[in-house]
Structure 1
Amino acid sequence: MEGLEGNDLKVSQELKEVYQNYIARTLDSMLKKAWSFGPDKILPEKLWSRTELDSISKKTSVGILTINRTSGEFYDRKQAYDFYLSKEEDTLLKSLAEAYHSQNKKFIVVLNIGGVIETASWKSYADSILLMWQGGQEGGNAIANILIGETSPSGKLPMTFPNRYMDHYSSKNFPGRELVDNPFPSALVGVESEVVYEEDIYIGYRYFETFNVPVSYPFGFGMSYTTFEIVNNSINVNKDGVLEISCFVKNIGNVKGKEVVQVYIASPDGNLEKPSKELRAFSKSKLLSPNEYQNIDFQIEPKDYASFSTEKSAWVLEAGTYKIMVGNSISNISFTESIEIPNTLEVLKTTKSLESNREISKLTKKSMNIE
């Protein structure tokens, strides 16, 4: 609110007063129960009738709804009211969208969150979604700068936004089992538990991409107020296995902005199984004016695109064909080129100090019938 007002935007004084009173009253009631900053302590959404929302949409030029989540240590996120929207949030979001759209006005959702939430079921209701994570004291000013177009957003998703919580392979392992015979009991954290993650190398986007699981927003995704073109200049590999990649990124839109060029590599399945593609390098351009371009260069050492062999306890660059892909997200590749590594290289030897003392079931392409 302060960020908007500080940028000479008028906020509804009626809404301001109603929400300030509602927040003070609700927060006071919640704090009397117990101190906590867990997800169950997020203020519940205020309920509005459709008549009230229609009245609000007529008096204002644009609607903004902030979805809030908190994050911290020593507690686990909940599916019901942390990953998914609450029933009240879902109803309010869709009702607000319908109210503003009936007036031919825009409806914006701002996500003030610390981790991924479900977006697939409601994203079509919003004209734009601004993901701010948890911006802190200057978050309000940053949001206002973006909403009025003073700053063009240029961030990219560092994680995948799945359609459903259960689409994450790790959901089959979590929350694990309680350790009744826990050797390190703690009065502070209560009952200890053991979680055995079975994804192996298929953590995060590597799982969704390799096993073709549909997502709401892919890894590396992020829009801005302008558009860019990424053009290949050259891709070479020297005798030591060092990759040298050069490309041009050009602003082909109408406003200034920045782009993040991302390099993905598909490594051959040799003695080691590999994900279908992995992010191996990225670089953000400078602020580019319309029609301005910049040369972006990458130098990727063998250790930076090698794979780990548990048998050899070493990072190994296996011989074979490597596919180099450059784009602005894992699902939007601008150009692809293949290079050959003639001989297998052992690039970094490690120790087995953290080797598991028991067999763990691991996810593999074979176990999922994928070649």
Structure 2
Amino acid sequence: MVKFYAATSSEVSERELSHMQSIRNLAAECMVLLENDGTLPLINPPRKIALYGNGARHTVKGGTGSGDVNSREVIPIEQGFETAGFTVTTKKWLGDFQRRVENAKKAYADKLEAVKREQGEGASVLYYLGNPFKEPHVQAITSADHQESDTDTAIYVLARNSGEGKDRTNAEGDYLLAEEELEAIRFLAKAYAKCIVLLNIGGVVDTTELRKIQGINAILLIGQLGNVSGYAVTDALLGKTIPSGKLTDTWAASYSDYPSSETFSHINGNVDDEYYTEGIYIGYRYFDTFNITPNYCFGYGKSYTAFSIQTLDVTADGEQIMVTAEVENIGKLHPGREVVQVYTSAPAGALEKPYQELAAFAKTKLLAPGEKEVLRISFPVRAMASYSEREAAWILEAGLYYVRVGNHSRNTQVEAALSLPEAVKTVQLKNLFRDTEELKEITQDVSPYSYSSEAVEKEMAKVMVLDSSQFICETAEYQKHRPLLREHAPESENYDGGCKES
């Protein structure tokens, strides 16, 4: 067995240097450009930058608890700009905030020590887990700060830390932006010719109030990029690397739009048990099926350039569906990479189904302006099956299955339809354990999301007929129950589990 050891030398190894360079080169692939009016990339950047926000000097590299990693050095965004040759002209503001953080950390450490002294070491650990450290709110940005910065370009780094032992809350300074943060960004948007907001976060934050602020030129979700964050961010802002990430979450317009918003974590007062009533309606499947418009949808992400996506063909057999699409960089100035996303919509039937589900995706190479690439994206026909709890099986119900192609969940076109004459089972399982209490899941009760050309696209779509008799049902094999578990096994009638012949 291969053994891995932590470095014991104070000298930085070639391995570490190589890994940090790889991270730096690849980091922009993860960044998601939410808004941009052409300000980014900074082609002719000023040599002075006004840098603000709680993440400018205290850049968050990763999560808490097991999400944390020990690093020899962490490069904050401030240092990244300075290494790139910029002069950060807001040292006084950053220094004032640093003192606020240091004072807050000292007060927190004193509190832990007091709990330990009064109640014992175990009590201080419990206090730490239940009351993790919270950074203080940022101080105001003043007219004097603006004048002393001596530049027309301001960058605000909004940071959030979360992870093990630190559940998110629907509160200011966490999911919601604190009023101090909003006031600071409003001031920057008015005072500076260029105002860029960087989101140094590991989870979703509310962007509704942020989007209302006039004068923000760009919003870039940088995420949490590890110990070379400062270098990676500077590279992306200058166009040395190109942001090409896509959202893996749906960013709602209101916290209450999320289906579990009333019961998650501390909200209902129960941190011991969590009941997930969403069922199949997780993320974009919920927002699309229940026709709720988000601020930013699943799969969304802009680029420094623009792309066209043309579906050349969709083919299908009994095993695979293949989508062939041509992507062209139709911009004039910048290279970029695009992600072609393929979604499928299953027919209405006895089983609940979301409006659409992501089936497959592929990313282009770095395309220069005017350059094209043909992508071939395939996925199994079986991937379109839905699960039946009653029959303990994955089932393709009869009807039309639509194939949609685009670059995010709210920007697709119906390109083909697959007709299945008869329902088929693809996998037969067994119900081994009964629920000890009934769980009521939400069900669709409204019309799903749609768009103006959808009906016409469905009518014009190429239709391919799938042969139901060609599907082979796989039956899962289980180990025999150990004697200690027999009393919990279901009755024999739930065990037949064979596949119905097509």
Does residue 117 of the first structure (1) align with residue 205 of the second (2)? Answer: yes
Task: State which drifts further: 28-37 or 211-220.
Answer: 28-37
Residue 251 of structure 2 corresponds to: 161
Q: Which has the higher strand share?
A: 1
Residue 67 of structure 1 corresponds to: 158
CA distance in 2, matches of 1:112, 1:26: 21
Correspondence for 2:325 among 247, 252, 255: 247
Residue 237 of structure 1 corresponds to: 316
**1:313/1:352 contact within 8 Å kept:** yes
Question: Relative to 1, partners in 2 of residues 1:355 and 1:215: Cα closer, same or farther, differing over 3 Å?
Answer: farther
Aligned-partner residue type, residue 71 of structure 1 = S
TM superposition shift of 1:353:
3.6
CA distance in 2, matches of 1:98, 1:279: 40
5 Å matches for 1:1-371?
A: 1-12=78-89, 13-34=91-112, 36=128, 41-48=133-140, 50-56=142-148, 59-81=150-172, 82-100=174-192, 105-125=193-213, 126-175=216-265, 193-238=272-317, 240-253=318-331, 254-334=333-413, 336-353=415-432, 355-365=434-444, 368-370=445-447
SS at match of 2:199: strand
Give TM-score, length-normalised by structure 1: 0.87
Question: Relative to 1, partners in 2 of residues 1:369 and 1:212: Cα closer, same or farther, differing over 3 Å?
Answer: closer
1:227-283 Cα distance to aligned partner (Å, 9 max, x none): 111101111221x15211111111111311111111111110122121111111111
Relative contact order, higher structure (CA 8 A, sep 6+): 2
Question: Relative to 1, partners in 2 of residues 1:63 and 1:38: Cα closer, same or farther, differing over 3 Å?
Answer: farther
Task: State which drifts further: 265-274 or 348-357.
Answer: 348-357
Give TM-score, length-normalised by structure 2: 0.65
**2:155/2:195 contact within 8 Å kept:** yes
CA distance in 2, matches of 1:124, 1:138: 32
TM superposition shift of 1:66:
1.0
**2:402/2:416 contact within 8 Å kept:** yes
SS at match of 2:190: helix
**1:38/1:70 contact within 8 Å kept:** no
SS at match of 1:108: strand
SS at match of 1:170: coil
1:172-226 Cα distance to aligned partner (Å, 9 max, x none): 33348678xxxxxxxxxxxx62222211111111111111112111111001101
Residue 29 of structure 2 corresponds to: none
Aligned-partner residue type, residue 4 of structure 1 = F
CA distance in 2, matches of 1:335, 1:268: 14
Larger radius of gyration: 2
**2:402/2:414 contact within 8 Å kept:** no
Task: State which drifts further: 81-90 or 12-21.
Answer: 12-21
CA distance in 1, matches of 2:128, 2:189: 32
TM superposition shift of 1:111:
0.7
Residue 183 of structure 1 corresponds to: none
Aligned-partner residue type, residue 230 of structure 1 = I
TM superposition shift of 1:293:
1.1
CA distance in 1, matches of 2:432, 2:305: 49
Question: Relative to 1, partners in 2 of residues 1:45 and 1:53: Cα closer, same or farther, differing over 3 Å?
Answer: farther
Question: Relative to 1, partners in 2 of residues 1:178 and 1:7: Cα closer, same or farther, differing over 3 Å?
Answer: closer
CA distance in 2, matches of 1:252, 1:38: 52
User: Gaps spanning 5+ residues in structure 1: where?
Assistant: 180-191
**1:39/1:70 contact within 8 Å kept:** no
SS at match of 2:203: coil
Aligned length: 351
CA distance in 2, matches of 1:226, 1:117: 26
Task: State which drifts further: 6-15 or 211-220.
Answer: 6-15
Question: Relative to 1, partners in 2 of residues 1:170 and 1:144: Cα closer, same or farther, differing over 3 Å?
Answer: same
Q: Percent identity?
A: 35
